[in-house]
Amino acid sequence: MDRAPVIAYVALGANLGDAQAHIQTAFSALNTLPQTRLLQRSRLYRSAPHEASGPDFINAVACLETGLSAPDLLKALQQLEEAAGRTRPYRNAPRTLDLDLLFYGDARIDSPQLTLPHPRLYERAFVLLPLADVAPQRVPAVRLAAVRAQAITPLD
């Protein structure tokens, strides 16, 4: 059964290997997911690890139109992470690719597998600044002000 397309936002991050290349490859891969197309992408940002370890991260946000359900989209994102060599040896370990589903339309989901909107998105400059590039209406100014002290730099 086909469902009406939904606008979803995905945060991308990487801090192992050629992180910029991993993010660029992920943008292309998102556009190949079933019933999904990449509508918009933020610029790339460099940020210091936040509640994580390792080298600086490269971060971005993608805006997708998808006919996948939220759980199916999450599963597809996890498969892309695995294909990029993502391992999870411990919480917040350095990673070749991290894909976080931020919003799925206006859905509110609270399940063991998925919480939407993403529960920590407003605490992280590395999510809010790229999200503001593609969906400024989703980023209240007060939220941006609250993360102003976090180190993040646009790359382009």
Select which of 41, 46, 86, 124 is catalytic. Answer: 86
Select which of 95, 108, 120, 143 is catalytic. Answer: 95
Select which of 56, 98, 143, 148 is catalytic. Answer: 98
pLDDT by position in tens, the chain (length 156) = 467 899 999 999 999 889 999 999 999 999 999 999 999 999 999 998 877 667 899 999 999 999 999 999 999 999 998 887 765 555 555 677 889 999 999 999 999 889 899 988 999 999 999 999 999 999 999 999 999 999 999 997
At residue 20, the pLDDT reads 95
Select which of 37, 56, 88, 100 is catalytic. Answer: 100
Domain 6-154: assigned CATH number = 3.30.70.560
Domain segments of the chain: what residues? Answer: 6-154
Asked if 100 is an active-site residue, the reply is yes
Asked if 86 is an active-site residue, the reply is yes
Beta pairing partners, 33: none
pTM for this model (two decimals): 0.92
At residue 2, the pLDDT reads 65
Amino acid at 75: K
Quick check: helix, strand or coil at residue 111? coil
H/E stretch holding 115: strand 115-116
Beta pairing partners, 99: 12
Contact assessment for residue 126 and residue 100, using Cβ atoms and an 8 Å cutoff: no
How many angstroms from the chain centroid is the CA of residue 107? 17
At residue 60, the pLDDT reads 98
Residue whose tokens read 């498969």: 79
Amino acid at 33: L
Q: In Å, what is the CA distance from 125 to each residue of 68, 81, 89, 116, 151?
A: 28, 22, 25, 18, 8
